[in-house]
């Protein structure tokens, strides 16, 4: 009997101990679960806050880019009303988040924007995330286009960090686009053809960017490497060694026709072309004579050479502003050349720079020139052409074949296998950053901008891509 009673007491004690352990285990598990939930909630709150801060930064940046004087120095809240962002008081509260955006002028043409979001974390106090960017008054500092008939229209708008494709055009098998120019939403495109019997010049009506329509084509000879249009004419650099320059009448876009051609060098096709002030600046492959030519096209039916210059290498790209020609050349040294072309019959070198291969080039002003150097986009101060200074650079992952600049964004066509189209933010030229990118099936060869739409030519028969920002 005594033995039986002892077993019962021991069992009760064991049960109590086990129960206590279970309760303690449940308590510990509860603490772990709620602690884990707290971490997840805090992480989620941080993600939400970062998203709101970035949204505020982009919204005010766009307001300032659209109208430099629309936002004065101060701290503001913002609200989305009637499809647009608007300033509202000194801050705005959305759920648990308080957002405010501060604007500070650095000088007449630069403003710093700071977007902040604050939220309470319960017993741990408040937290804050901030994003900062620098905005430049590009409309004030950028000069007009070298071609008054092809200005590119208005400035950028919408969200270029999230671009979208509008439409595309296929040139058909055996054609690869080599360059592009757009005027009033009419797209002029050059191509290299697999056969001399195939067309290599195309006109596309992109009035409806989502549904561009091929309206005409023309066979000019071997192939076309570059194009620049103005008024009733498109000027093309032909691979034909007996007709490096061709002038195409596009006054009737449904029926283009070659109205003139010019041989400038024996046994060397045309590679690059630029039009401004009734003159054509033409580059060719390396040959025994000159590779750079200035041609009078004041009478487009009778082009004539005004002057030439020996580059000792194949010309890859040309950009002309005022009295200067900025040229990239395939050669061992000084792959970027700057020439004074104020007197076409007496062209003078002002300087050269870089030993790495150079591709696309565009100059906004002497102190702000954009160049594709090797696999980088380089921003350079070329005011002193004899001592070019690099302001900033960014790796692109491929050659920068062509460049278009509008406001604080640089649009580039590249050979990067995964990012043939890239948008680079250069609001701070010393610290450029990738804004967005797109992957195409082939290399980007040419690019143009007009009224917040980018047109890019691709080395593929699926040759035209039309891109714009998201709303």
pLDDT at residue 19 above 80?
no
Give the C-alpha distances (Å, rounded to integers) separating 10 from 1, 2, 17.
15, 13, 11
Give the C-alpha distances (Å, rounded to integers) separating 161 from 62, 209, 335.
12, 20, 32
From 103, 122, 140, the end of a domain falls on 140
Specify the long-range contacts of residues 48-54, CB closer than 8 Å, at least 24 apart. Answer: 48/97, 49/97, 49/117, 49/119, 49/127, 49/128, 49/129, 50/117, 50/129, 50/131, 52/94, 52/97, 52/99, 52/117, 53/99, 53/115, 53/116, 53/117, 53/129, 53/130, 53/131, 54/115, 54/131
147 and 136 share one domain: no
Give the C-alpha distances (Å, rounded to integers) separating 184 from 149, 181, 219, 394, 446.
10, 10, 24, 32, 18
Q: Which residues of 142-179 are buried (b: 16+ CB within 10 A; e: fewer)?
A: beeebbeebebbebbeebbeebeebbebebbeebbbbb
Backbone region of residue 83 per phi and psi (left: phi > 0; alpha: psi in -120 to 50; beta: other values): left
pLDDT score at 26: 46
Range of the domain at 276: 143-470
pLDDT at residue 470 above 50?
yes
From 113, 140, 167, the end of a domain falls on 140
63 and 135 share one domain: yes
Tens digit of each residue's pLDDT (9 = 90 or more) over 270-289? 999 999 999 999 999 999 88
Tens digit of each residue's pLDDT (9 = 90 or more) over 103-154? 999 888 889 999 999 988 776 778 899 998 888 776 666 788 999 889 998 8
CATH of the domain at 329: 2.130.10.10
50 and 134 share one domain: yes
Report the chain's C-alpha Rg in angstroms.
30
Question: Cα separation of 61 and 159, whole Å?
Answer: 10
Looking at the structure of the chain, the number of domains it has is 2
CA atoms within 13 A on the CB side of 46: 7
pLDDT score at 69: 84
Tens digit of each residue's pLDDT (9 = 90 or more) over 402-439? 999 998 999 999 999 999 999 999 988 999 999 999 99
pLDDT score at 8: 37
Which residue reads 């307001």 in tokens? Answer: 63
From 96, 111, 140, the end of a domain falls on 140
Question: Cα separation of 138 and 304, whole Å?
Answer: 37
pLDDT at residue 3 above 60?
no
294 and 431 share one domain: yes
Question: Cα separation of 202 and 48, whole Å?
Answer: 48
Which residue reads 């120095």 in tokens? Answer: 73
136 and 20 share one domain: yes
Kindly report the average pLDDT of the chain as a whole number.
89
pLDDT at residue 335 above 70?
yes
pLDDT score at 4: 31
Give the C-alpha distances (Å, rounded to integers) separating 386 from 367, 382, 394.
13, 8, 23
210 and 96 share one domain: no
Tell me how far the alpha carbon of residue 179 is from its chain's centroid. 16
Tens digit of each residue's pLDDT (9 = 90 or more) over 60-104? 988 887 778 889 999 999 998 887 889 989 888 888 899 999 999
Question: Cα separation of 220 and 297, whole Å?
Answer: 19
407 and 461 share one domain: yes
Count of residues in the chain: 471
457 and 335 share one domain: yes
216 and 321 share one domain: yes
Out of 2-16, 145-159, 196-210, least confident range: 2-16
Question: ∠345-335-270 over CA atoms, to 5°?
Answer: 55
- Are the C-beta atoms of 278 and 298 separated by less than 8 Å? yes
151 and 100 share one domain: no
- Are the C-beta atoms of 71 and 63 separated by less than 8 Å? yes
179 and 55 share one domain: no
129 and 172 share one domain: no
């Amino acid at each position: 009997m005594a033995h039986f009673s002892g077993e019962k007491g021991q069992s009760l004690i064991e049960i109590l101990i086990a129960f206590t352990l279970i309760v303690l285990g449940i308590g510990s598990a509860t603490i772990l679960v709620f602690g884990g939930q707290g971490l997840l909630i805090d992480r989620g709150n941080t993600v939400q806050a970062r998203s709101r801060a970035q949204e505020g930064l982009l919204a005010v940046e766009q307001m300032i880019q659209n109208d430099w004087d629309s936002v004065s120095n101060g701290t503001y809240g913002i609200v989305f009303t009637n499809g647009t962002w608007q300033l509202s008081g000194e801050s705005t509260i959305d759920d648990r988040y308080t957002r405010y955006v501060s604007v500070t002028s650095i000088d007449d043409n630069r403003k710093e924007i700071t977007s902040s979001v604050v939220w309470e974390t319960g017993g741990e106090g408040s937290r804050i995330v901030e994003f900062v960017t620098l905005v430049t008054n590009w409309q004030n500092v950028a000069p007009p286009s070298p071609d008054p008939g092809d200005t590119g229209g208005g400035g950028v708008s919408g969200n270029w960090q999230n671009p979208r494709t509008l439409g595309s055009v296929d040139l058909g098998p055996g054609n690869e686009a080599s360059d592009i120019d757009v005027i009033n939403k009419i797209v002029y495109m050059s191509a290299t053809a697999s056969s001399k019997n195939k067309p290599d010049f195309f006109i596309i009506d992109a009035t409806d960017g989502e549904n561009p329509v091929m309206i005409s084509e023309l066979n000019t000879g071997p192939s076309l490497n570059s194009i620049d249009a103005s008024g009733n004419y498109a000027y093309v650099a032909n691979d034909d060694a007996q007709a490096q320059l061709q002038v195409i009448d596009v006054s009737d876009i449904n029926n283009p026709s070659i109205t003139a051609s010019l041989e400038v060098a024996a046994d060397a096709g045309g590679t690059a072309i630029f039009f401004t002030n009734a003159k054509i600046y033409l580059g060719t492959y390396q040959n025994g004579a000159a590779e750079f030519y200035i041609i009078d096209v004041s009478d487009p039916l009778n082009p004539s050479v005004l002057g030439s210059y020996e580059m000792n290498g194949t010309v890859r790209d040309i950009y002309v502003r005022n009295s200067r020609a900025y040229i990239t050349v395939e050669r061992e040294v000084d792959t970027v050349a700057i020439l004074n072309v104020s007197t076409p019959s007496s062209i003078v070198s002002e300087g050269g720079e870089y030993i790495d291969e150079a591709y696309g080039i565009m100059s906004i002003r002497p102190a702000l020139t954009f160049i594709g150097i090797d696999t980088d986009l380089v921003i350079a101060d070329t005011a002193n052409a004899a001592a070019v200074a690099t302001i900033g650079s960014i790796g692109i992952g491929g050659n920068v074949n062509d460049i278009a600049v509008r406001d604080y964004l640089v649009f580039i066509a590249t050979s990067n296998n995964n990012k043939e189209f890239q948008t680079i933010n250069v609001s701070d030229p010393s610290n450029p950053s990738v804004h967005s990118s797109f992957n195409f099936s082939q290399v980007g060869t040419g690019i143009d901008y007009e009224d917040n739409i980018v047109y890019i030519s691709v080395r593929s028969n699926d040759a035209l891509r039309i891109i714009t920002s998201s709303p």
